[in-house]
Structure 1
Amino acid sequence: MKRRNFVKSSMLTGAVAGILPASTIEAKQTQNPQNAERQFYELRVYTLKNGRQQKLVEEYFQNAAISALNKLGSKSIGVFTEYLPQGYTKLFALIPYNSMNDFITAPEKMAKDAAYMQAAAPYLNVQATEPAYERVESSFFRAFTHMPQLEVPEKKPRLFELRRYESHNETAGKKKIEMFNEAGEITIFKRVGLTPVFFGEALIGPMLPNLTYMLTFDDMAEHDKNWKTFGSDPEWKKISGMPEYANDKILSSITRTFLIPTAFSQV
């Protein structure tokens, strides 16, 4: 993973209305985010130390977990490995839920699913001397109002970029979320080819407060080209130049990880 601090600017106050681009305001009015059902997302990161562990965890998702979660209403589950990992790869699992209750009750319901328990046995019944993984880090997110549902890209070879934006306090974190939603950053993303899969505000997990989102590209060349287009976009320059959205006022750091989907990933 690569981590960097953003260059710093100036103070936040002020209102967004009246100085946003007209196209951003129009997009805001037509999205009707208040009427959309916002999903929740669990992001699991499995730390692995060898090929045996990777095979065991991948087979657990492929043969047991994905189908069991699909039956419970969690569709479009993504399973990814790192692109050009440093050391042994980590496994990333993105699981959407339609409600917080679905997340809470899923383990108990899966434990009562005989087909799941049988298929998951090699993973669930390992001995402490030969664990399936070293540890699992889990984060839980609520979808943004202006992208309330996970959007599955075309099924073809793709590169994914997972980005985490950390803020120094909750107020600053909310301001960055406002920048994506009301100020129109998500709309600009989609227009310039930064194709999002999900945006989520972290409710539980490490490095709070943070927001996390995932983008997808054909390859690294498209990634570099589309980010360059975004950086020079006039509407983005106008929004990012507003004092209330200065990086040093709302962001402490960014972490990005490049991922590739497994053969059985539904994203």
Structure 2
Amino acid sequence: MNVSRFPLVVALAALSVFAVGSKAQAQSDAKQQYVEVRTYHLGDNGDAKAVDQYLSMALLPALNRQGIRPVGVFTQAPADKNEQKIVVVTIPYDSADQMTKVAMELQGDKRYQADAESYLNREPRDAPFARISSELLVGMKCWPEVTVEKNVLENKDRVYELRLYESANERRGNLKVEMFNNGEVPIFLDCGITPIFIGQALIGPQTPNLTYLTVYPNEEARGKAWDAFRVHPDWQVLKKVAKYKGTVSKIDLFVLQPAAYSQM
């Protein structure tokens, strides 16, 4: 492990240091991916069943045929405290150009058009959602590509957190990214907070921000992981660095559960 890259990772047992450092180092050497976080806002009259059927029967199979995977699909878990009803889809891309190519190929994919017919042919007054919002993330140096660890999908009790850290301006947003890159992720890993992706928003309704998705074995483990993070000695040091103060102006937090067919 290159200790100089993570100066705050201290006072851990030797095996724990190696495991955490190896995982973070492997990520830092990977190629940066892009992630679209697409949110279907159902509103008061949305049809969650229709959206689910479209995603499972049409969109995911079509994306997979183009080599796009893993694609995540999530709904709100019982522990989520947000009033709005949403479905979240997370789509990884190897390049920004690939995102454009995928969208164009969907238009010409006859199988997709047939599978999505009932969804795409609904009348405007009978739309299954109120609106769709999307943001495009670029993977950060600390976690540049989407990673789903082995056996994660086998755990039916797993829960996720989607967090968006909004900043007051671009400089403060870049400093929050720097804070993650310079030490926050090893603390995550040491506390049992396992990232799926971490990205800085290039485009979206709440820029500047960074957004990340993390997974936990169950709801109890999620609570314990964040309790451990808040008192972690390295976090106590990092959060007191003067230049990082005031880098986050607003936090959006969603506790999510995976759809049965989610690939994340």
Q: Provide the TM-score with structure 2 as the length reference.
A: 0.86
Matched position secondary structure for 1:129: helix
Counterpart in 2 of 1:146? 142
Counterpart in 2 of 1:125? 121
Taking the TM superposition and a 5 Å limit, the aligned residue runs for 1:95-244 are 95-153=91-149, 154-155=152-153, 156=155, 157-181=157-181, 183-244=182-243
- CA distance in 1: counterparts of 2:125 and 2:95, whole angstroms: 37
Asked if 1:259 corresponds to 2:246, the answer is: no
Whichever residue aligns with residue 179 of structure 1, its letter is: M
Matched position secondary structure for 2:47: helix
CA offset at residue 57 of structure 1?
Answer: 0.9
Q: Which moved more, 1:77-86 or 1:138-147?
A: 77-86
Q: Is there any run of 5+ residues in structure 2 with no aligned partner, and where?
A: none
Q: Is there any run of 5+ residues in structure 1 with no aligned partner, and where?
A: 1-16
Question: Which of 71, 93, 103 is residue 77 of structure 1 equivalent to?
Answer: 71
Question: Which of 47, 58, 70 is residue 41 of structure 2 equivalent to?
Answer: 47
After superposing on structure 2, the runs of 4+ consecutive aligned residues of structure 1 that deviate more than 6 Å are none
Contact 1:173/1:210, CA 8 A, preserved across alignment: yes
Q: CA RMSD in A?
A: 2.6
Q: Which moved more, 1:83-92 or 1:40-49?
A: 83-92
Whichever residue aligns with residue 41 of structure 1, its letter is: V
- CA distance in 2: counterparts of 1:77 and 1:18, whole angstroms: 31
CA offset at residue 53 of structure 1?
Answer: 1.5
Per-residue CA deviations over 1:137-160 (Å, capped at 9, x if unaligned) read: 111110111211111240112111
Contact 2:9/2:234, CA 8 A, preserved across alignment: no
- CA distance in 1: counterparts of 2:96 and 2:171, whole angstroms: 23
Q: Provide the TM-score with structure 1 as the length reference.
A: 0.85
- Alignment identity in percent? 32
Cα 1:147–1:70 change in 2 (3 A) is: same
Higher RCO (C-alpha under 8 Å, 6+ residues apart): 1
Whichever residue aligns with residue 215 of structure 1, its letter is: T
CA offset at residue 206 of structure 1?
Answer: 1.1
Taking the TM superposition and a 5 Å limit, the aligned residue runs for 1:58-73 are 58-73=52-67
Contact 1:73/1:97, CA 8 A, preserved across alignment: no
CA offset at residue 88 of structure 1?
Answer: 6.3
Q: Which moved more, 1:148-157 or 1:252-261?
A: 148-157
Counterpart in 2 of 1:8? none
